[in-house]
Structure 1
Amino acid sequence: MNKAREVLVIGGNRYFGRRLIARSLAAGDRVTVLNRGSTPPPPGAIALTADRNDERALTGALGGRTFDVVVDQVCYTPRQAEIARRVFAGRTGRYVMTSTVEVYAHLDSPAPVPESAVDPRAVVVDTTLPWDDPAFLEEHYGEGKRQAEAVLAAAPGLPYASVRVAHVLGGADDFTGRLAHYAERLRTGTPVAVPPVAQPATYIHVEEIAGFLYWAAGQDFTGPVNAASHGELTVGELCTAVAARLGTGEPVYEVTEGPEVSPFAFHRHYAMDNSRAVRLGFAFGDVRQWLPQAVAETLGKDA
């Protein structure tokens, strides 16, 4: 029998984080969940309460605990990464940071981008920026993740991996409201705002990314890895899938030159190359095969 792993999940109390925790518990891992205490962890997990931005409080909450793996779901800034580097070096055998496709937001590539397109070792870190300002952080989300990865890449003694997550779809608990945006417009006949040329993007199902993070926690590779299902979708394909679920007519589009467009209506090609993860042994699904299921889950039985 394999020895149960000691797993720490920082954040992760909603959406694919909860699914990751459930998978780890089902596999027999001893799972500790650390957050600010606003939401209890799933049954079976150990709860620790601390603000991960407060290094002293974080260290105090952890006490003498050590872990086989830490999965950090809520590392958004280089300051947070620096705290994690200091606290977890020597305390865990592996540190997995949940990153994002948004690290590539400043690029405009006609082909799916590989991890090498953003090398964290070459990213300049500036901890003096106002990372504690929510408005600044929201506007610089991708940059915050890039710099957080850079801090970890430079950390001696902390074997890390950063999972760059594609746009996530599926689940009745999808809190983003992005598919609901299309459902409301299709029901009412309101035009969907799109750019003159709506570019495709890569996506991943909520269950698939939970499985990917669980898998990544048990591997030994380091550095960034892209997590995206096979295939790309345009906003038109998403709208067609929602219309098929609702039984409405074809969507009506309104072309705009401005930045205010509907969710997933991208001005630039927003696709990631998943070949590194495939070479490492993960088997992704195909986005067009699971899309109808994802739409049905999110919009519900009465859609």
Structure 2
Amino acid sequence: MPQICVIGGSRYFGRHLIRLLQDDGHHVTVVNRGSAAPPAGADHVVADRADAAALARALAGRTFDAVVDQVCYTPLHADVARRVFAGRTARYVMTSTMEVYDPATSPSLLPPAATPVREETVEAASWPVDPDLPWRSPEAVSRLLGEAGSYAEGKRQAEAVFARDPVFPFVAVRSAHVLGGGAADFTGRLRHYVDRVRAGLPVVVHRDPAPTSFVHHEEIAAFLHWTATRSVATGALNAASHGALTVTGLCTAIAAATDAPAPAYRVVTGGEPASPFSFDRPYAIDNGRAAALGFPFTEVAGWLPRAVADLLQES
């Protein structure tokens, strides 16, 4: 029976990933700090993934066909994983983010207007790693780089550690914004829009909001399953449903799904923050590489009404 290790995975789309792996006949071992039990049928290894010695002891004698790392946020996390899993796994999949392309923290990465960003825009193997940043203190890094900047830079540098001198085949799944209804709305962002649109409250947006990319929580789980169980590629893979949306397009779709009146908007002023998913520059990713390798992405327009209905059903 194929052996898969999932680091994290006890909530959000990680639980769906584990069920997909189990349904496909894989034996799953979940590694976390013990804060949540894994789904039924999975082995549970309690360890701090940031502690190399403790993680190695907890995994003594175990080898895996693949590892899916759901909670790799810094180059220190990546260095621990690289040392502990070298010789212990045949494939390593890191859940990364489209925010590695964020021009708010890396102005030189800004793509040509309206052009979805391709993977080569950020080449992880050549990205600089700064071990002197206080990665063990998220608050300290956030003070230096800002909350969004520290998350994006942590993911970029984590990818760099794996890619620069690979000790196993490595894939960085650069996920679009994940949406889902009900319990899957982990960030609360979909509810933010559904509640405001249904109540007729204005959504704060940029004057000319640009499109961005989304993926359903079940689809990103399926994509991680696909990358972990098939030797289709290494390196970065963008994961996004077809059909980028502006924030106003998202609100219009929500209004249609809930029979709400036309959404109301208020243009951001001064240093005021805009609503989530409102961007003042192009912020969509190109899923062409993964699609060409055979992954059947769906359309945002196809799953968004169901996500909204799932959220309302649990209200």
- TM-score norm. by structure 1 comes to 0.95
- Structure 2 counterpart of 1:89: 86
- Whether the 8 Å CA contact 1:241–1:295 is kept in 2: the answer is no
Point out the more displaced range, 236-245 or 16-25. 236-245
- Structure 2 counterpart of 1:233: 245
Structure 2: gaps of 5 or more residues: 104-108
Cα displacement string for residues 157-207 of structure 1 (whole angstroms, at most 9, x for unaligned residues): 221110000011113211111121122323433211001111111111111
Matching residue within 204, 215, 219 for 1:204: 215
Matched, 1:159 2:169: yes
Could you tell me how far apart the structure 1 residues matched to 2:313 and 2:138 are? 32
Could you tell me how far apart the structure 2 residues matched to 1:89 and 1:13 are? 24
- Structure 2 counterpart of 1:192: 203
Structure 1: gaps of 5 or more residues: none
Point out the more displaced range, 73-82 or 107-116. 107-116
- Please give the secondary structure, in 2, of the residue aligned with 1:229: coil
- TM-score norm. by structure 2 comes to 0.91
Could you tell me how far apart the structure 2 residues matched to 1:125 and 1:112 are? 26
Could you tell me how far apart the structure 1 residues matched to 2:272 and 2:80 are? 35
Matched, 1:262 2:272: no
Matching residue within 77, 90, 95 for 1:98: 95
Could you tell me how far apart the structure 1 residues matched to 2:38 and 2:47 are? 14
Corresponding letter in the other structure for 1:230? H
- Structure 2 counterpart of 1:108: 110
Matched, 1:181 2:185: no
Structure 2 counterparts to residues 64-83 of structure 1, below 5 A: 64-83=61-80
Q: Give, in angstroms, the shift of residue 259 of structure 1.
A: 4.9
- Please give the secondary structure, in 1, of the residue aligned with 2:304: helix
Corresponding letter in the other structure for 1:286? E
Q: Give, in angstroms, the shift of residue 213 of structure 1.
A: 0.5
Cα displacement string for residues 18-40 of structure 1 (whole angstroms, at most 9, x for unaligned residues): 11000001111110000000100
Could you tell me how far apart the structure 2 residues matched to 1:245 and 1:289 are? 11
Matched, 1:30 2:27: yes
Matching residue within 138, 141, 154 for 1:144: 154
- Whether the 8 Å CA contact 1:85–1:155 is kept in 2: the answer is no
Could you tell me how far apart the structure 2 residues matched to 1:8 and 1:143 are? 25
Could you tell me how far apart the structure 1 residues matched to 2:48 and 2:179 are? 29
- Structure 2 counterpart of 1:124: 128
Could you tell me how far apart the structure 2 residues matched to 1:63 and 1:259 are? 51
Could you tell me how far apart the structure 2 residues matched to 1:186 and 1:158 are? 47
CA-atom RMSD in angstroms: 1.4
Cα displacement string for residues 38-69 of structure 1 (whole angstroms, at most 9, x for unaligned residues): 10000000000011111111111111111010
Cα displacement string for residues 113-169 of structure 1 (whole angstroms, at most 9, x for unaligned residues): 110000001100012101122232534111110000000002342211100000111
- Structure 1 counterpart of 2:263: 251
- Please give the secondary structure, in 2, of the residue aligned with 1:168: strand
- Please give the secondary structure, in 2, of the residue aligned with 1:297: helix
Q: Give, in angstroms, the shift of residue 301 of structure 1.
A: 6.1
Matched, 1:299 2:312: yes
Could you tell me how far apart the structure 2 residues matched to 1:259 and 1:148 are? 31
Could you tell me how far apart the structure 1 residues matched to 2:312 and 2:190 are? 8
Point out the more displaced range, 258-267 or 66-75. 258-267
- Please give the secondary structure, in 2, of the residue aligned with 1:273: coil
- Please give the secondary structure, in 2, of the residue aligned with 1:43: coil
Matching residue within 165, 178, 181 for 1:168: 178
Could you tell me how far apart the structure 2 residues matched to 1:165 and 1:20 are? 14
- Whether the 8 Å CA contact 1:52–1:80 is kept in 2: the answer is yes
- Please give the secondary structure, in 2, of the residue aligned with 1:295: helix
Q: Give, in angstroms, the shift of residue 241 of structure 1.
A: 2.3
- Please give the secondary structure, in 2, of the residue aligned with 1:82: helix
- Structure 2 counterpart of 1:274: 287
Q: Give, in angstroms, the shift of residue 8 of structure 1.
A: 0.2
Could you tell me how far apart the structure 2 residues matched to 1:67 and 1:259 are? 48
Matching residue within 134, 139, 147 for 2:138: 134
- Structure 2 counterpart of 1:59: 56
